[in-house]
Structure 1
Amino acid sequence: IFQVFDDPRSATLNTVLDGQRFSKQSETKIMVRDVGALPLLPTAHSVELSEQPTQEWLDLWWAVDGRGGGGELAIAREILTGCPSLYALVRDDDG
């Protein structure tokens, strides 16, 4: 699966992928907002931000979206850390 923008920036890549008979199935939207413009959360809980997924973040994400065992989790970690990202974790009253 390739997630590629469908605009002039990716026209050449899309042509190559079309030629290789890859199919377009869904659109991915990437939304960005300046962190300084974010409203404060209406809760006493703080947001923990990190540039790498912590083990706790990864375990929670895998419990919801994961498919497979340890090998698949290792591959998912490589994918998640393969480009610059930001990870957020907010704890509820139970931690």
Structure 2
Amino acid sequence: MNQGWPAEAKTELDGWLLRRNRGVTLRANSVLPTSAPFDLGRALDYAENLYDAHGIRPSFQVSPAAQPTDLDDQLEARGYQVVNPTLVQCAEISDVLAKLPAETVEVNISSAPDDDWMDFWWRVDGKGGPDQKSVARQILNRSRALYAVMPSTGPVKAIGRLALVDDSAGLYCLAVDERFRRQGLALAVIRALLQEATTLGIHWAWLQVVAANEPAKALYDRLGFRTVSQYHYRVKG
């Protein structure tokens, strides 16, 4: 997942990866604590000072694999608040495709987000103005991915992104115009992206869904995605 949404700058700190991307998206501006530092107190101080120096609120992505194992408690004691509890789900692409309806609309697939794709995504899900949008586009362009736009001509109604990492693919940025929801457009986008991924030799997919997003969870459950892990952010209050 880290490779599917790469930050502009990364600092390694005794087993932690401190990601920075000018404050755009929490995923790219948080610590990924993959190993336990020798001196936890010093590591926390360093991380907080680094983020403060760049005008970014100190944040940690905490999963069951976070190190040290009591990191969540340590962060809570320092005044960090829980933000965005999220489920990580996986599925075999062939299983998902078997559950999806046949395509009835044409979906355009490309290897980079064009202006129409970016404008639509930022209008539906973006947080910030033109400067933040430009920074977000740089995040997308740092990793190999597929971009879906539906329909292939005319005003955009739905989009999606599939990050390609080794033999796996991560579903991101699935968005549908609110005027055209509940018409199967999201399913068409997912099918087109996953079908294209199979031509590249990719066999399984992952996604991240906010735990409170019941409609999205129900959709992914119907498609055969199963929760394999979870995480939340700890953000300094």
Give matches, 1:1-95, under 5 Å: 1=26, 2=30, 4-7=61-64, 9-12=65-68, 15=71, 18=75, 21-37=79-95, 38-39=97-98, 40-83=100-143, 85-91=145-151, 94-95=154-155
* Aligned residue identity for 1:29: L
Which is richer in helix?
Answer: 1
Cα distance between partner residues in 1 of 2:146 and 2:92: 13
Cα distance between partner residues in 2 of 1:50 and 1:30: 26
Q: 1:93 to 1:83 in 2, by over 3 A?
A: closer
1:56 Cα deviation from its structure 2 partner: 2.3
Q: 1:76 to 1:56 in 2, by over 3 A?
A: same
Q: Which has the larger radius of gyration?
A: 2
Q: TM-score, normalised by structure 1?
A: 0.61
Which is richer in strand?
Answer: 2
Q: 1:24 to 1:55 in 2, by over 3 A?
A: same
Cα distance between partner residues in 1 of 2:61 and 2:151: 33
Q: TM-score, normalised by structure 2?
A: 0.31
Q: 1:25 to 1:67 in 2, by over 3 A?
A: closer
Q: Displaced runs of 4+ in structure 1, greater than 6 A?
A: none
Gaps spanning 5+ residues in structure 1: where?
none
1:64 Cα deviation from its structure 2 partner: 0.9
Aligned residues: 94
1:76 Cα deviation from its structure 2 partner: 1.7
Q: 1:51 to 1:30 in 2, by over 3 A?
A: farther
* Aligned residue identity for 2:117: W
Cα distance between partner residues in 1 of 2:114 and 2:102: 25
Q: 1:73 to 1:85 in 2, by over 3 A?
A: same
Cα distance between partner residues in 1 of 2:70 and 2:138: 25
> Per-residue CA shift, 1:24-57, capped at 9, x if unaligned?
1231123233333314444421334445433322
Cα distance between partner residues in 2 of 1:33 and 1:80: 23
Cα distance between partner residues in 2 of 1:80 and 1:20: 33
Cα distance between partner residues in 1 of 2:139 and 2:70: 21
